[in-house]
Structure 1
Amino acid sequence: VADLPLHPFSPFAMELPTYVANTIAAPVLVSIFAAGYAVIFLITYGIIQRMRPSMGSGEMAVAMWFALCGCIYLFFDGYFSYNAFDMAGKTDIFGQLWKEYALSDSRYMSQDAL
């Protein structure tokens, strides 16, 4: 039993003294993430329809894409930048999303990501 890793991230020897396992399943986390950005899309669409109702579908798609990217960088990546040194212990939605992402890129659980 002593040989079992204390966390699921590679390398298993990486020390994460504050690690707390996720309590929300990955499909639920992704659904919450998608729902949040659906709200952003709806708000963006509403603002565009109010400010420029004649905007073409191509421009609309570009505006929606920029809104999505901007919100991801501002909120999701901003969360990481603010909490980078204790990400392993975070249990809120963004913290658990980052831990799920870090299963494929464990730099985000160490201080090497920035």
Structure 2
Amino acid sequence: MARVEGSGISNNHPYVPRDLHLPGFVPGVLSQSTVVGVFGLSTLLLVSFIWVLSGRSPKKTKIDRWLMCWWAFTGLTHMIVEGYFVFSPEFYKDKTACYLAELWKEYSKGDSRYAARDAGVLAIETLTVVLEGPASLLAVYAIATGKSYSYILQFAISLGQLYGAAAYYITSLLEGDNFSSSSHYYYAYYIGANVSWVVIPTLIVIRCWRKVCAASQIQGHKKTKVR
């Protein structure tokens, strides 16, 4: 147990900074392998389900099917996992071994701003849950049904995700970038767990931009011919 010198406050949490005050903190029950394993298995099952389901439509390309898997995964992650964080301000006090509480207790080892309820992180996550979560599931529907707004929607969500990722990292740097319990958690959680929301949205933005530009050129040629 760590004691903050001169304050008389004892902190038994594993997070950095050590003087972070989390009254009523209850240590996680599930092991790191269990928390990560359950998340990985759930992701695999979801992606497999969407992949098989999307395969029933012969008109869907493999890229469209992978995008449906991505948007289903990211949408449910935003709404369920991040939604729990937004609406459970004292998850670190949980004594029931609730999986989502255990997940955030574990992730906070890579970024203690979550346990500390940092205002910047909370603002980013709230917008993500309320806007990007439902929009991501709408993207699955748009791709599946071939809606005309599919590319614009994916473009907009991806830009939002990139903006959120940039704000997430920039605010950490401005505050000292010292919120990980060790280099292991820093690279595994803070970097590794978030890299997908940088790389994949970037690729989607590029693809959608090209698709929209190509469609605009075709429309322009048609108007020219009509004249």
TM-score by length of 2: 0.46
User: Larger radius of gyration, structure 1 or 2?
Assistant: 2
Gaps of at least 5 residues in structure 2 are: 4-9, 123-227
- For the pair 1:82 / 2:87, whether they are aligned, the reply is yes
SS of residue matched to 1:104:
coil
RMSD: 1.8
Out of 85, 96, 107, which is 2:102 matched to?
Answer: 96
How far 1:47 moved relative to its partner?
2.8
How far 1:77 moved relative to its partner?
0.5
Out of 69, 74, 77, which is 1:69 matched to?
Answer: 74
Q: Which residue of 2 aligns with 1:58?
A: 63
TM-score by length of 1: 0.86
Q: Which residue of 1 aligns with 2:26?
A: 20
- For the pair 1:41 / 2:57, whether they are aligned, the reply is no
Determine what percentage of the aligned residue pairs are the same residue.
Answer: 25
Instruction: Flag the structure with more relative contact order, 1 or 2, with Cα contacts below 8 A and sequence separation at least 6.
Output: 1
Contact 1:18/1:86 (8 A) holds in 2: no
Gaps of at least 5 residues in structure 1 are: none
> Residue 61 of structure 1 aligns to which amino acid in structure 2?
W
Task: Specify whether residues 70 and 111 from structure 1 end up closer, same or farther in structure 2 by C-alpha distance, changes over 3 A only.
Answer: same
- For the pair 1:110 / 2:116, whether they are aligned, the reply is yes
Contact 2:24/2:93 (8 A) holds in 1: yes
Cα separation, 2, equivalents of 1:99 and 1:2: 18
